[in-house]
Amino acid sequence: MFMGHFIMWELGALIVVLVGSIVAWKISKQVRLGLHLTRMTNIFEEVEQTRRTLPIGAGGGFNSLPKMRQLQADQELQQGLQYLRQFPRHEITREVAKNARLAENLGRSERYVAIANLLEWLVEMDAALNVDDFMKSYG
C-alpha cells in the first residue's frame, strides 16, 4: 500500500516537472523571439536614422553605416532570420504588427517606419506574411 502511494507521488512529481519544463521552454522561446525582433528592429531604426541625419542627396540607408557596423548588422540580421524561421510566418507577422501598434501608440514614428521596413524585409526573406495575406487568413 505504501509503495503504491510512493509510486503515484513520484509519477505525479514527474508529470509536474515535465509540464513545467514545457511551459518554461515555450516562454523562453517567445522571449528569444522578442529579443531577436528587437535587435532586428534596432538595426532598421539605425538605418532609418541615417536617412534623417545625412545631408540631402547623401542617401542614407544600410550602406551609409560604417563598414564594420554593416558587417555586424548583417550578421545580427542573419542570426535573427535563422531563429525566426522556426516559427510559422503568420506568428512572425503577428508579433511584428503588435510591435508596430505599440510604436505608433507611443508616438515613435521613426521606430514605426523601421518596423514596417523590417516586416517588408522579412516578407522578402519568406519569414513573414505580407499584411494583406495575413489579414485574409488571420484578420
4 has pLDDT over 70: no
What value does the mean pLDDT take over residues 54-60?
Answer: 62
Say if 76 falls within a structural domain: yes
Tell me how many domains the chain contains: 1
Of 6 and 45, the one with more pLDDT: 45
Cβ 47 vs Cβ 84: under 8 Å: no
40 has pLDDT over 70: yes
Res. 55 pLDDT band, cuts 50 70 90: low
Q: How far is CA 101 from CA 22, 97, 115, 129, 133, in A?
A: 30, 6, 10, 17, 18
Say if 49 falls within a structural domain: yes
Say if 110 falls within a structural domain: yes
Integer Cα distance of 9 and 26 in angstroms: 26
pLDDT, residue 45, reads: 94
Say if 12 falls within a structural domain: no
The pLDDT > 70 percentage for the chain reads 78
Say if 99 falls within a structural domain: yes
Say if 123 falls within a structural domain: yes
Q: What is the CA radius of gyration of the chain?
A: 21
pLDDT, residue 56, reads: 53
Say if 122 falls within a structural domain: yes
First-to-last alpha carbon distance for the chain, in angstroms, is 56
Of 87 and 18, the one with more pLDDT: 87
pLDDT, residue 28, reads: 82
CA dihedral for 85, 90, 91, 96, sign (positive or negative): positive
Say if 62 falls within a structural domain: yes
What value does the mean pLDDT take over residues 37-46?
Answer: 96
What is the domain extent for residue 119?
31-138
What value does the mean pLDDT take over residues 37-65?
Answer: 82
pLDDT, residue 43, reads: 96
